[in-house]
Amino acid sequence: MDFSRVTGLHLQSMDISLYIHYPFCLRKCLYCAFNSTAGSPVGADDYVAGLLREMELRVRSLGDGVSAVTLYFGGGTPSLMEPSLASRLIKTAARLFHLAADAEITLECNPATADFERLSAFRSAGVNRISLGVQSFDDALLARIGRIHTAAEAREAFVAAREAGFGNVGIDLIHSLPDQTAAMWRRELESACALGPEHLSVYGLTVEEGTPFALLEHEGRLALPEEEASASMYEHATGFLAGRGYEHYEIANFARPGFRSRHNSGYWERRPCIGFGAGAHSLLPGTEFGVRCGNTEDPQEYLSTLSRDILPVSESRTLTREEAMAERFFLGLRLSEGVDLDRFHREFGVSFQERYGDACADLFTTGLLELRDGFLRLPSRARILSNQVFVRFL
């Protein structure tokens, strides 16, 4: 998009992202706070029929003029879905949202649900990128966090993805797991790199309210690494992966050149995104700064709302200029390039200095922010302290 001519998020031949949420899992992991459920009474066929209905309703409310450049199946465990259903969703997205022929189409896969036959069928359906939720290559740790697969199954799933023709496979890992040591974490990174994925996402475990881990922590039965140990695991990952040719392009994400996640990059760049499914979130175009909205989380309520031909939106907020400006920084600063200050000025009619200069002055002197070639960035050593920077924009 040419931002010298377009301000805000008006709907004029706009590139968008599509997200499809599949909220079903075989079993809940002990740390999981995502909108996912095991043993739902809602069947896959009915749910996918709901997704197709939502697409029809949404395109009516948006009108023509959008063109989708990415489609992301997230969850939950979207690899549980029958590939024929994924194929119907992809075809419908192509018809209604002009999904580009070279669109990035990602499927999140749980290794326990990803054998060669299924992966081949997803490839034939049009999926061209796999995000494999490995989390750990240590069987004892996998059992402790409630994952349903082993390390061997994760390796087999990776190999199966390659055999099925996927040339773009990412692996997700979690560090700072219970009783995990620095040496254990080093082995995790070595195991992941030995497979040669194009992309790695590296998250630190956070204990979320309402999860079994929160209860265990409350009872003093969850031994997690101290903050300092956790920070050094992250630091080790950045150095180790840089040495293996991975570009650290976002706080938690690393990619071989040319293999950044186009879908997730759109989120950090504030590209409009239409989310479908229970609990899916969207940044909709059509107003100057966009509308953020979220769908109802319960799959049954989601379907019953759609059965009345009503979009299942449970929360919606039209962004103000102030909110959009803040988002531009706290999302854009996650990326290694940072935020283009000229573009920011054109987009919002105010300079960074005018709006945030005073609030951020000390961040330059303490080394948490830097200005380089017209881009405002987080220096690499400050990425682990990013939250201290982001609050200045709120």
Q: Is the Cβ of residue 66 or residue 130 nearer to ligand SF4 in the bound state?
A: 130
In whole angstroms, how close is the CB of 146 to ligand SF4 at the nearest point?
7
Calpha distance 144→20 (Å, rounded): 29
- Note whether 157 binds ligand SF4 by CB under 6 A: no
Q: How far apart are CA 116 and CA 8, in angstroms?
A: 44
Length of the chain: 394
CA–CA separation, 306 vs 175, rounded Å? 39
The torsion angles phi and psi of 11, rounded to 5 degrees, stand at: -90, 85
Can you name the residues that pair with 105 across neighbouring β-strands? Answer: 71
Reference 252, options 148, 363, 171, 195; nearest CA is 171
**Residues 6 or more apart in contact with residue 10 via CB below 8 angstroms:** 285, 286, 288
Question: Of 14, 16, 29, 55, which one interacts with ligand SF4 (CB under 6 A)?
Answer: 29
| Best CA proximity match to 311, nearest among 48, 89, 57, 93 | 57
- 211 scored as a contact of ligand SF4 (CB under 6 A): no
Query: Using the 8-state DSSP alphabet, how is residue 226 labeled?
Result: P
**74 is a site residue for ligand SF4 (CB under 6 A):** no
Which runs of E-coded beta strand occur in 128-287?
129-135, 169-175, 199-204, 247-250, 253-255, 273-276, 281-284
* Strand-strand pairing, 370-372 and 375-377: antiparallel
Number of residues that bind ligand SF4 (CB under 6 A): 11
Q: Would you give the DSSP letter of residue 319?
A: P
Indicate the residue among 9 and 29 with the shorter CB distance to ligand SF4: 29
Tokens 């992309």 — which residue?
199
According to the binding rule CB under 6 A, does residue 75 interact with ligand SF4? yes
Range 78-137, binding ligand SF4 (CB under 6 A): 110, 133
Of the candidate spans 13-21, 26-34, 178-186, 339-347, the one that interacts with ligand SF4 by CB under 6 A turns out to be 26-34
Residue from 6, 8, 34, 336 binding ligand SF4 (CB under 6 A) = 34
Q: Of residues 17, 36, 70, 191, which one binds ligand SF4 by CB under 6 A?
A: 36
Residue 74 beta carbon to ligand SF4: minimum distance, rounded to whole angstroms: 9
Q: Which stretch binds ligand SF4 (CB under 6 A): 3-11, 29-37, 214-222, 278-286?
A: 29-37
Stretch that binds ligand SF4, among 71-79, 173-181, 335-343, 358-366 (CB under 6 A): 71-79
Toward ligand SF4, which CB reaches closer, 14 or 25? 25
CB of 210 to ligand SF4, least distance (A): 13
Q: Could you give phi then psi for residue 240, rounded to 5 degrees?
A: -65, -45
**Which residues in 225-254 contact ligand SF4 (CB under 6 A)?**
none
335 DSSP assignment:
B
44 sits near ligand SF4 (criterion: CB under 6 A):
no
Figure out which of the listed residues 70, 77, 131, 136 binds ligand SF4, where binding follows CB under 6 A: 77
Distance (Å, rounded) from C-alpha 281 to C-alpha 302? 13
Binding site for ligand SF4 (CB under 6 A): 25, 28-29, 32, 34, 36, 75-77, 110, 133
